[in-house]
Amino acid sequence: MGLVSLIMDFICSGKLESAWDIMKENGISWHALDYQKVFKDLEENLESEIDLGNIHTANRLKRRIHALKIFQACGLVPQQSIASVDLPEGYQGKMLLIQIVGGAAHGMVCLRTGDDWHREILRNTIEEVQDLGFENADVAPLGGAWIQFEPDGTITVYGSSEEFGACDKNLAADLISHAFPGNRVLRYH
């Protein structure tokens, strides 16, 4: 098996980090790879999962397609693939600060929201990072809190996670401020 075939096998299996490592070690440009079949297969699988009503699997496939498009355009760039903040406007609920440990995205700190439990936010974030092609990365919780968008546009960060403890609310507020530069962010310790 040639290097290009090995790289394409890694890309097909969603292991972009491994593909990138081989490409860098051997001076192979991402422009030299043919992504068309991979995109076609992923898009067909996505349509099939949507038709079957498998929303969770469909969302995972959407993330893989997104990551592959970024990889095709500029290689493995964690800051372009992994959003630092996942916070829908108007959200009211739990949040978790996480740090990515290991691999190409090592050291990134991100804010994630959703679900009824902080451990589910963590589980979903682990899955997200893997779907985005960072198979050598792990996700560590840095503590949780609650977020509330107020009617006047202020975003409030307060409380903590029973399971993971309180996050650094100053860091959370800083991440939120970058994502929502027009909003005032308040934090209660």
Q: What pLDDT does 169 receive?
A: 97
Are 97 and 159 members of one domain?
Answer: yes
Together in a domain, 166 and 91: yes
98-135 residue pLDDT tens: 999 999 999 999 999 987 899 999 999 999 999 999 99
Picking from 17, 50, 76, the residue at the C-terminal end of a domain is 76
Domain of 123 in residue numbering reads as 85-187
Q: What is the pLDDT of residues 139-174, one digit of tens each?
A: 999 999 999 999 999 999 999 999 999 999 999 999
pLDDT in tens, 24-70: 999 998 777 888 889 999 999 999 999 999 999 999 999 999 999 99
How is residue 153 written in tokens? 């546009």
Residue written as tokens 């970024």?
70
Looking at 76, 93, 122, which one is the last position of a domain?
76
Distance CA 165, CA 141 (A): 9
Domain count, the chain: 2
Q: What is the rounded distance in angstroms from the CA atom of residue 154 to the CA atom of residue 148? A: 8
